[in-house]
Amino acid sequence: MRTRASHPLRHLLPIAAIAIAPQVLPAQTTATPREVVQESFAALSGRDWDAVAGFSSPQFLDQFRQKQLFYAEDDERQRMEKKKNPDSYGLPKCVQKYFESQQGNFSKRFLENFAGVDNLLQLEVLTPAQFFAAWLSGTKNLKSEDLAAGPRIVIPTRTIFGEVFEGDSVAHVLYRRNPSPPGDPDQGIKLITLRRYDGVWKIYPNDDMILAGRSFAWWSTAK
C-alpha cells in the first residue's frame, strides 16, 4: 500500500502561526480616584506644587487663572484710570494720595501671592498649571520675624476614608484633615471631586488644597 509522504513544512505551520500571531498585552490600569488624591496629598506634604498642579483638572486650572487675572487686571485698570484723572476721586488731594497708596499696596500684596512674579505681565504669560503652582508656592515661607521664637508650625495630615462614584466620569473622595482649620464646622471632614479626562482622573481642588501653601503658616501652641 502506498502512503502519501507528509510535506516537510507541514509540522512547522502551527509554530509559524503562533509566531506571527499578534501578541495581546494586558490592558494598562490607570490610577483610581483614591490613588490620585493620595498622590496629590503626598505632593502637598512635600511642597511639590508643580506636581499638585499636574494632578489638577484642566478646567479648574483655566478657571482659576481667569478669575485671578480678572481681579488683578481690573485693579490695574482702575489704578491707571485714577492716575490719569485724579479729579475723578472727588476727594481732597491728601485723601486721594492715601487711596492711591493703598491701591499700590493692594497690587503689591496680590503679586506676593505668586512665587517668582514681580509684575502683572509676568503673571499673564504663565500657563494655567504654572499659574496655579506659583499661587500655591507664593506664601509657603513665613517671614523672618514670624520664624522667631514661638509656637511651632503645624503641617496638617490628610487621611482618606472613602470614595463615591457618579457614573464613569465623576468621583468624590472623602478625607479627614488633622488638625482641622480654625472654626471649621465640619471638624476636618472634607470632600474633593475628580473628573476623568481621556481616561485619567484629575482633581478639582477644594479650598483645603487651594490654600494648602498658606496652611503651613497656621500656628499651634502644642509642644
Residue 23 inside a domain? The answer is no
Residue 61 inside a domain? The answer is yes
What value does the mean pLDDT take over residues 186-193? 92
Residue 11 inside a domain? The answer is no
pLDDT single digits (tens) 62-117? 999 999 888 877 666 666 565 656 555 555 655 555 555 544 444 677 787 888 88
Residue 16, pLDDT > 60, answer: no
Element containing residue 39 per DSSP (H, E): helix 33-45
Residue 50 inside a domain? The answer is yes
Q: Which amino acid is at 178?
A: N
Please name the residue that has the C-alpha cell 479729579.
87
Residue 16 inside a domain? The answer is no
What is residue 200's predicted lDDT score, i.e. its pLDDT?
A: 95
Residue 45 inside a domain? The answer is yes
- Cell readout for 133 is 503652582
Residue 81 inside a domain? The answer is yes
Residue by residue, DSSP assigns 80-143 as: HHHHH-GGGG-S-HHHHHHHHHHHHHHHHHHHTTSTT--SHHHHHTS-HHHHHHHHHHTT-S--
Q: Count of domains in the chain? A: 1
Structural domain including 114 reads 33-138+151-215
| Terminal Cα-to-Cα distance of the chain (whole angstroms) | 101
Residue 19, pLDDT > 60, answer: no
Residue 10 inside a domain? The answer is no
Beta carbons of 175 and 190 less than 8 angstroms apart: yes
